[in-house]
Amino acid sequence: MAILDVRQAQLLKQAKLFFVNHDGAVGVLIPPTGEAPIFLKSGINGGPWGGTHRGGIPRGNGWAFTQGGPSQGNTATHVEGHAVAVLWQREFKNAVLLVDRPMCKICERDLPQTMKKGMEITVISEEEGVTLVQSSHGS
């Protein structure tokens, strides 16, 4: 039984086609506002619609968007990190992220620390299913 519905699978396919020759992770952020889906990719630049490369995210102690340079260990270069950056930049409290692969151990561990209090993102991948990630910055 498929995890992604037909529309979600089609959006993810469109995102892969949009980022020609990108062999890293690709995702589609579905905003809670009904706006058009946002295509994202891994790497320093998350794509033309937003991502960590545009700023507007907290860096430093207590936040998992590291101050270090780009690396596989820096959540800011992962599709999930770019998705959370879009939440910050557009002031969304939540969204759904479709990804073409399961979340890595770094995102599993650090993604909650990238979000402000009350923020959450539902990550869906065909291989992993549905994962609700909530901010670790409580009251």
Domain count, the chain: 1
User: How confident is the model over 50-105, as pLDDT tens digits?
Assistant: 999 898 888 777 777 766 555 556 788 999 999 999 999 999 999 999 999 999 99
Structural domain that includes position 55: 6-134
The verdict on residue 114 lying in a domain is yes
Q: Which CATH number is 117's domain given?
A: 3.40.140
Instruction: Report which of residues 139 and 120 the model is more confident about.
Output: 120
Q: What is the pLDDT of residue 66?
A: 65
The verdict on residue 1 lying in a domain is no
The verdict on residue 55 lying in a domain is yes
The verdict on residue 82 lying in a domain is yes
Half-sphere exposure of 129 (CA within 13 A, CB side): 3
pLDDT band at 123 (very low <50, low <70, confident <90, very high): very high
The verdict on residue 139 lying in a domain is no
The verdict on residue 113 lying in a domain is yes
Measured from the Cβ of residue 117, the count of other Cβ atoms closer than 10 Å reads 11
What's the angle, vertex CA 24, arms to CA 20 and CA 29, rounded to 5?
Answer: 80
pTM to 2 decimals? 0.92
